[in-house]
Amino acid sequence: MMANPQFVRSVRSYVLNKPFETVPEEFLWIACDDYDGVIELWFDTLPAAVATANALAADSAVQSAMQGLIDTVGSVTWIGHVVDGFDKPGIAVKRIVAGQPRADIPLETAQDYWVHDHYDFFSRFEDFMAYMLRYRAVYGIQTPGLQITSHRFMGMCADVGFASLQHLSDAYREPKHAAVMMTDIEKFGAKTGAITFTAGAVEVAYGKAMG
């Protein structure tokens, strides 16, 4: 993949999010995931992202290398714009959650509420926020020109960092936040269709450390 000319020209960072080898039983409720890995490709522009994805999909050498390695039918791929919240040192667990907006409100209205108002909402809970080392919002961009078999649009994706699985579990069981979390999510998010992944290691395979 990294030999593809479009990749070399346009990709700023290639990040591999790797799973835990084992997850202790007490954390399976929060770290029992839908997928076994996440790849991030970072770009400067939306056209570069679409053009590169299509070039990789049309590259026979890339597709041959992926056979037996990546389940493209079972994978999900989309393009989004990153809005950084905060990033602190000490992250050992990366929690990625992607979901869809409510069907009865415009996509951009849901995304705007999620990026701004929902962030303000959960930031009020100091005991919950004490565990969180990173918050990064990635709102999905609809790209009809994206010509890859695994394309499935996701409206919203959060990248959240913690120091340990224990801290991840404790954060989402923090009683004050847990008691009211869904009341705000229901204002913008669909009740079904979310996907998750929890990374135990992150490798920057190419370019800058952005993921």
H/E/C letters for each residue in 33-77? Answer: CCCCCEEEEECCCHHHHHHHHHHHHHCHHHHHHHCCCCCCCCCCE
Right CATH for 5-202 from 3.30.70.100, 1.10.533.10, 3.40.640.10, 1.10.3720.10 = 3.30.70.100
pLDDT tens for residues 120-157?
999 999 999 999 999 999 999 999 999 999 999 999 99
Q: Which pLDDT belongs to residue 25?
A: 95
Name the pLDDT band for 4 (thresholds 50, 70, 90).
Answer: very high
- Cβ-based burial of 53 (10 A; exposed 0-12, middle 13-18, buried ≥19): buried
pLDDT tens for residues 15-68?
999 999 999 999 999 998 778 999 999 999 999 999 999 999 999 999 898 888
Return the domain boundaries, the chain. 5-202
Q: Which pLDDT belongs to residue 72?
A: 83
Q: Is the dihedral of CA 27, 30, 35, 38 positive or negative?
A: negative
pTM: 0.93
